[in-house]
Amino acid sequence: MTKSTPILGEFKPSAMGVFHETNYKMQERYYGKREDAKAHYFRDWIPKQHEDFYNKLPFTVLATADDADDLWVSVVTGEPGKKFMSATPTDVTFVGLDKMAANDDPLFKSMKPKRPMGMLGIELHTRRRNRLNGVIELNSSGEYKIGGANLSF
pLDDT of 25 reads 80
Q: How high is the pLDDT of residue 2?
A: 46
- Nearest in space to 139 (alpha carbons), one of 108, 93, 82, 76: 93
- 43, β-bridge pairs: 151
- Lowest-pLDDT choice from 61-65, 95-99, 117-121: 95-99
Residue 121 has what pLDDT?
Answer: 92
Strand ranges inside 95-153, DSSP E: 116-123, 128-138, 144-152
Compute how many other C-beta atoms are within 10 angstroms of the C-beta atom of residue 11.
16
The per-residue pLDDT for 122 is 94
Average pLDDT, the chain: 78
Cα 65 to Cα 71: distance, rounded to the nearest angstrom: 4
Contacts of 7 (CB under 8 A, 6+ apart): 65, 69
Q: How many CB atoms lie within 10 A of CB 121?
A: 21
Q: What is the mean pLDDT of residues 66-70?
A: 89
Q: What is the structure's pLDDT at 41? A: 57
- pLDDT higher than threshold 50 for residue 5: no
Give the whole-angstrom CA distance, residue 33 versus residue 150: 23
Output 84 or 128, whichever has higher pLDDT.
128
Asked if residues 152 and 13 have their Cβ atoms less than 8 Å apart, the reply is yes
Q: What pLDDT was estimated at residue 124?
A: 93
The pLDDT confidence band at residue 9, using thresholds 50, 70 and 90, is very low
